[in-house]
A = this chain, B = another copy of it.
Amino acid sequence: MEQKLILYSYWRSSASFRVRMALELKKLDFEIRPVHLLRDGGQQFAPDYQKLNAQQLVPTLVHGDLVLGQSLAIIEYLDEAFPHTPLLPESAAGRAWARMLAQVIACDVHPLNNLRVLGYLVEELGASESDRLAWYRRWSDRGLASVERLLRQRRRQTPFCHGEEPGLADCCLLPQVYNARRFDCRLEKFECILGICARLEALKPVQAAAPENQADAE
Contact = CB atoms under 8 A, between A and B. Distances in A.
Contact of A149 (B54, B103, B121): B54
Interface string A56-72: 01000000011011101
Copies of this protein, total = 2
A201 interface: no
| A-side interface mostly | helix
A103 B153 contact: no
Interface residues of A, number: 45
A49 interface: no
Nearest to A108: B111
A217 to B, nearest CB: 25
A97 interface: yes
Interface string A94-115: 0111011001101110111000
A6 to B, nearest CB: 15
Given A73-B96, A96-B66, A54 B103 contact: no
Given A77-B95, A111-B111, A124-B135, 20 more contacts: A55-B108, A55-B142, A68-B97, A69-B100, A70-B100, A70-B107, A72-B103, A73-B99, A73-B100, A77-B92, A77-B99, A103-B107, A106-B107, A107-B110, A107-B111, A111-B112, A112-B112, A120-B135, A124-B131, A125-B135
Interface of A: 54-55, 57, 65-66, 68-70, 72-74, 76-77, 80-81, 92-93, 95-97, 99-100, 103-104, 106-108, 110-112, 117, 120-121, 124-125, 127, 131, 134-135, 138, 142, 146, 149-150, 153
12 contacts: A54-B104, A54-B153, A68-B100, A70-B104, A72-B99, A76-B95, A77-B95, A77-B99, A103-B106, A107-B111, A124-B135, A125-B125
